[in-house]
Amino acid sequence: MKVWNKLEQTLESTNEWLGKACWIVIFYLMCMGVYDVLMRYLFNKPSLWIWLTLQYAMVMLACLGGGYALQKGAFVKLDLIYGRLSLRTKAILDIITFSFTLLYSFVLVWKGIEAANTAWSIHQMTSTAIRLPLYHLKSLIPLGGLLVMFVAIQKLVLDVRILLGKTHGVSKPSGFLSPQGGA
């Protein structure tokens, strides 16, 4: 059990760190997005590189923010129904939907590794005037899938413990049991 708790702490702190890094990416997206619009429409001086870096940053955000969002219970649920259910019923529904999350993250890891390997082998670059490497970015896809998979497994263990009535001493990552995060 000590190993599991250590793994949970490591996963939670990794996702917390990545979540903070994602906030920096969001800040970059906001600032550079506004700058690009101002330069393009007010000064008639469009940039060649800003739009490309914004796309790059959005992909980074999607890859690295998934585990953080799942850990914090930030994904959309039908709270009109889900919010009224008991903790036990939520755990049952979450166990049922775990297979979809596992399938999704497995495909992200599997196909992401293929895409990253291909990109690294050919040193893939963007096909625009400003050439940025894509192999680094494509390497984030399987990493993001693994983070989502690990958080989903952590959540599954918690849900099984709830069903078995063994919730005492269970580490409860923030968001998992909050009203908006569900159980």
Average pLDDT, the chain: 85
Q: Report the distance separating Cα 92 and Cα 98, nearest Å.
A: 10
* H-helix segments, the chain: 2-37, 50-71, 79-82, 87-122, 135-164
Residue 51 has pLDDT above 80, yes or no: yes
pLDDT at position 176, please? 56
**Per-domain boundaries in the chain:** 2-164
pLDDT at position 182, please? 44
pLDDT band at 112; cut points 50, 70, 90: very high
pLDDT at position 25, please? 93
pLDDT at position 83, please? 80
Residue 178's contacts (CB-CB under 8 Å, 6 or more residues apart) are: 73
Residue 33's contacts (CB-CB under 8 Å, 6 or more residues apart) are: 54
Q: Report the distance separating Cα 53 and Cα 56, nearest Å.
A: 5
Share of the chain above pLDDT 90, in %: 44
Does this model's pTM top 0.85? no
Q: How many beta carbons lie within 10 A of that of residue 113, not counting itself?
A: 17
